[in-house]
Structures are given as C-alpha cells and as structure tokens.
Structure 1
C-alpha cells in the first residue's frame, strides 16, 4: 500500500472520575483518573524543531474549551476563551492582526475562502474577515457550540450541544434550516462535527445515530444506528458520535463512536462496508489506504481502509489522553495531557519523535501543512514546529 496526501475501551481503570470528566456540564477534564503509561526511550529518527511560538490570550480556560486553531494559505488563526482572536504569518509567526470580541468563545475555528468562522458559549456564530478581523455578521443559534462550524459553497452548518443542527447562509448569516434530534439524558461533553459537502451534510449524534441531511432543506435522506446503548448504568450506555465523519474521494464514509465501533459506509445509501470493534470519541484520519484511529484508552490503531483489517497497534502512549491524530511528513502527530507532542511512523507504528510544548497539556488536535505542525497548548501557547527529515 502507498501513502498519498491526507484527505481530510472506556478506560480499563475505574469509570468514576474519568467518566464524570467526560460528561456534559463538567467544568474541566482535569487530571486523568487512571494511570498513564510512563514515557520510555525510543529510537529517534525524526526531530521536531521549533520555528516560532506565540501566546494567544489566556488559553482554553478551566473548562478546556476546544478552541482549536485553523490555517488557510500562509496564515494561522487562533483564539482564546475570553474572545481574543489572532492572525499570524504561518512561516514567521508575525502577528497580522489581533482583535478582542469581548465574549466567551467555545468552538474550534474554521478558516475558509477568506473568512474565519467561530462560535461562543451563548450560541452566537460569528464570521470574521481574514484580512483584518472585521466582523461580517453575527447570528445566534439554539445553544452553546463546541464543534467547529463547517462550510460548503453556500452554507455554514453548525451543530450545537442541544442536538440541533443549523444551516446558515455563509454570506449573510441568515438561517436556512434547522434539524432537531433526540438527546439522551447523559452525553459526553461536546458534540460531533458535521462533515459538509455541497449536496449533503453527514451528522453524528449523541444518541449513536448518523444522519445524512439534504443541504437544500435539512431533511434527512437516510440515518442509521452506528452505536447501540448497552449496559445498566447511564455511563455504560453512552454512545456519542463525537468525532467528525470523514469521506474518501471514492465516496466511502468512516465513522467512529464512543462505546461502539468504527464503521465504513457507502456514503450515498449508508450500506455498511465493514466494521471494527473500537471505541473512539476522536475523528480518525485517512491517509491513502490506511485509516488511523485513537481509541478511548489512547491506543493508536492502523486499519486497512478497504477491509477494516488491523494492520498495527501501538499502546506505548496508553491512557495518556491523546488528541485526535494529524499527519505530517509521513508521521502521525498527537499531543498528550502532559504537553508532549509525539510522532509515530505511519507505516510501521513506531514512535520516532517527541518534544514537549508546555506542561499545561495539549488537548487540541494539531494543525499540519506538509512537514509543518502548529500546536496550541491549553495555556494558549501556539508553537510551530518543523519535522525533519
């Protein structure tokens, strides 16, 4: 198999504190309630060299809002929980502009086609101009938004924590349609992130269902149960689809679920192609014929994207609360709760590089471009590193 350009077990220890840290309404992840594996020496064949770093406001706050940065072209956009938004040159770190929205931010950023989209804790969705940070429009949706707003050519699709999915006109912010789903009484903190293409939006829900919505009307074309609640307690029955579905160029859809499975589907009808018994709350990553998944106990698993067959598994970072994976220069990239950034060879599954960004920890998926990695620590430090070779 060859690598191409990337397209875009509850933990075995006690459920108590860990589960509570995951649930809606918790103030913070806090420290893991289980024993992470200690880091061990390894054969370092890749180095991570810092190119520049900047402090972006006060960071993610006590609630660790998932305010992940975004990059378009040669500009990186990042923000903090208090409403500071910055644009920086991706190569030098020079600040191009900085604004203060004077409101609590809650969602990851999306930079696309000259705009930056983000959302607030009180349910406001904001569009900013990439050139100077000026505000284009501001629209309120039904509740807090934690997932990054997702766009196609006409719409901005926003998934809020009450289970509603709202489509807004990208140019004006005007509401086009709203889709409402049933919510279980207990969910993970956070929501799935929609996968939006021109005709449809694929939406993962807290009830374990995946819905495909017609972008003209918001009506479901098909939906299916990806994960089925099991067990006696409400915690055992959590089945959130909290990662983003990803789609391949040939129309296969890959979906992860908590307390459930990884499923590959034919995107137009939802026919199941294969499934693997892996629990994950993270968005996977597809690179060529490999699908990479971070499980809920922070094992990294490489699957054959065509069959679901397990190719390799790495448990060296087990229980270290890894981020979702990114990809740079043939390496998988992850952050962990102690602020280390790890590189794993995507073909073999071996750790090949590591550095520490900041002791406050890393809970946001790194942003990559070629061999360049942008990673934001929980205290707000944004560091840009280069992978060599």
Structure 2
C-alpha cells in the first residue's frame, strides 16, 4: 500500500492521493486502483511451484516493504512482528526461526554471513546467518523502510526522516550521519542507498540524488532528478523511492516519482540523458536494456545508452505491479491481486502467469537463475521455477 507522509507524524492514505492523481475515490481509507482486466495470451513459459510456506503475520495492513533476501543457497524472510526465518532455497527446508522483540519495517539484506534489517522504532539489527542470533543492535534517527546496504566496511541505513547513517559493519558503531532537507509532504517510503567502498549514492524525497564520501559523509555532488511543479503539495511530490543502479563502467540510473528516469556519469553527476517517466520503483539493467515499471504499471524498456524507448507493455495498467526482477530472460512482476507475471525481456509480451495469493504482492520478487521467490502480503512465501 502506498501512502504519503505529512511532516514527521501525520500520514495521508493513498485514497487521498488517488483522488488527486487518478481522479478516483477512496473507500474507508483503502487504496484506489482500476486494474486492467487480464486477457488471454500465448503461454510459452510455465511457473511451477517448488515449495511454499507461511512466514508469520506477513507485511501488515500498512504493507511494510519487508522483502526477502537470498544469499547463496539460503533464503531469509521476515514479518512485521519480528519473526525471521531461514530456508534452504531449493527445498524450502526451514533451517531456523527466531522471534525478535522488534517491529520489522524494512526489506532484508543478506551478505557475508549476516542478515541486516531495520525496524519501525529506528533500530538496525545484524543477525548471524547460521542461527539467527543477534550480533549487534544500533539505533538510527527514525523508522527504517529501506533495506540497509553494505560495503566492505560500512552498513548504510537511510531512515524516513531524511537521515543517512553509516554504521560499522562489525560492531554497529556510528561512523557518520548525513541529513537531507525534506519537503512537508512526501510519499511513504524512502530511497534505498547504493553503496560501494568509496561513496554512497542516496536519493531523497526532495527529488535530489546525492553522492556521499564514505570517509566522513560529506556530499561530493548533487543532482536534481525531479523538479517539483504544480500548485498543491500533492502535485509537487517528487520522491526518489527506488535504488540507483550503478554499472561497472560508472553510469548511474535513477527513477523518480512525478519526474524523470535519468542516466548520470557517476563520478561527477553529469546528465547523460533523461526521460519523462514517473516511477517509484528500482529499475533493472540487463545488457543495454533498462527496464522501468511506471506508476501507471506500464512496463517500459529503454535503451540504456540514450534513453530511447524500445518497447512498452500496458497490459498490466492499474494493477500496482512491483519493481521488476529478472529471471532467465524474463521480467518478473507481482501485482496487487496476487499474480506473478512473466514478460519476454526482449520483446515485451507476456509469456507466463500464475496466482500466488489473493492477499496481493507488493514487494519485489527475489530471483536466482530461473527460480523466483515471492512473498505475498499475508506472509505466504512461494518458490516458483520457470519452465522451459
């Protein structure tokens, strides 16, 4: 569920936002969307269930973005009440389950023997992948909705009040804090930082992308990705709520709400190209294709070299699709009615579909080769295998 945030404490539901942006109407505070009816297609890929289970209470009514994470042959998943579980990714065998005394609010990050997560009360925890024991806890300034991001030395945590905090990965000790100025009204959700050893790239609700020096948290350059326009605060929403995508050759791709998809030169922030597309989601780069899920739930393929539109699929319009994932030549999306859709990445047509759970899917699927792990809003965790 998408909501907007008013100052620190007051929140407007998606219903109010939908009335303004979609000329819809809200009912009892529930989200408003007009999903396009699913139509028949030529199925050339099937999705076969390998295993499924249930993880705690799921994502809760607020649909916290508690996406699972995979590291090697192990999958980790959690719920809003602090249950964290570890599974053998291939068989689904549960390896451990822990009940933490914290309300989890962020996606998980699993790397180098640790599982990192953030909470609604501004805690960050590092768990041991072997048994789920807590290695350390740290506090940041406010609720954490973005998955913590690790480099060799630091864990970078972006919180909902515009703070970016660098913690020592070994101990959780605070190294530095950067604070961005946020507008009065924002979408509920924050950007997810992209970090490498020298720098961190962080996007904010003011539409700016900032590069921070990981030695001290000082900004090296900033770029305005989206420019607020319009008379009302809602019209002027320009949040960056996805994660910048960094390429080995030093290009950055970033999306924004009510704004643009932009390609930047990573060392100086120079604009390589920009295209008017509104997206709250992290894009996917595969070869020279940049795939974007727009806020209208169109899937758009752009030429990563120049931003030219290569194809667009609007078959899922209004279905509140997740950020795209990539699996064995196909794009993978969940939607608000609980379907998983496969699109041919080169041509853009739908080639496969199955329904996981009617509670809906709001977090990005996790993929490895032709395997897809999907967590539904009520906690159902299902692993699918693409065939052929």
Is the shorter-chain TM-score for this pair beyond 0.5, marking a shared fold?
yes
Match of 1:250 in 2: 249
Distance change >3 Å, CA 95–CA 30, structure 1 → 2: farther
Match of 1:70 in 2: 69
What do the CA deviations read for 1:121-170 (whole angstroms, capped 9, x no partner)?
A: 00000000000001000001000000000000000000000000000000
Match of 1:291 in 2: 290
Q: For 2:259, what is the secondary structure of its paired residue?
A: coil
In the alignment, structure 1 residue 338 sits paired with structure 2 residue 332: no
Q: Which blocks of at least 5 consecutive residues in structure 2 are unaligned?
A: 1-12, 22-26
CA distance in 2, matches of 1:151, 1:16: 32
Cα shift at 1:248: 1.0
Match of 1:144 in 2: 143
CA distance in 2, matches of 1:17, 1:156: 35
Distance change >3 Å, CA 367–CA 36, structure 1 → 2: same
Match of 1:197 in 2: 196
CA distance in 1, matches of 2:19, 2:157: 24
Match of 2:185 in 1: 186
Q: How does 1:15-94 map to 2 (within 5 A)?
A: 17=15, 19=17, 31-94=30-93
Length-normalised TM-score, structure 1: 0.93
CA distance in 2, matches of 1:387, 1:364: 19
What do the CA deviations read for 1:266-318 (whole angstroms, capped 9, x no partner)?
A: 00000100011100000000000000000000000000000100000000000
Cα shift at 1:331: 0.2
Length-normalised TM-score, structure 2: 0.94
Distance change >3 Å, CA 293–CA 215, structure 1 → 2: same
Q: How does 1:1-389 map to 2 (within 5 A)?
A: 17=15, 19=17, 31-389=30-388
CA distance in 2, matches of 1:22, 1:50: 40
CA distance in 1, matches of 2:31, 2:247: 34
Cα shift at 1:66: 0.4
Cα shift at 1:102: 2.1
8 Å Cα contact 1:339/1:361 also seen in 2: yes
Match of 2:9 in 1: none
8 Å Cα contact 1:29/1:64 also seen in 2: no
**How many corresponding residue pairs?**
371
8 Å Cα contact 1:118/1:149 also seen in 2: yes
CA distance in 2, matches of 1:35, 1:104: 32
8 Å Cα contact 1:265/1:274 also seen in 2: yes
Cα shift at 1:29: 12
Q: For 1:187, what is the secondary structure of its paired residue?
A: strand
Cα shift at 1:17: 1.9
Match of 1:5 in 2: none
Distance change >3 Å, CA 18–CA 350, structure 1 → 2: farther
CA distance in 1, matches of 2:155, 2:226: 27
CA distance in 2, matches of 1:270, 1:21: 36
Cα shift at 1:224: 1.4
CA distance in 1, matches of 2:231, 2:38: 36
Cα shift at 1:34: 3.1
Distance change >3 Å, CA 174–CA 256, structure 1 → 2: same
Q: Which blocks of at least 5 consecutive residues in structure 1 are unaligned?
A: 1-14
> How well do the aligned residues superpose, as a CA RMSD in angstroms?
1.7
CA distance in 2, matches of 1:21, 1:151: 39
Q: For 2:187, what is the secondary structure of its paired residue?
A: coil
CA distance in 2, matches of 1:278, 1:211: 20
What do the CA deviations read for 1:11-38 (whole angstroms, capped 9, x no partner)?
A: xxxx982616999xxxx99754231100
CA distance in 2, matches of 1:153, 1:103: 27
8 Å Cα contact 1:333/1:366 also seen in 2: yes
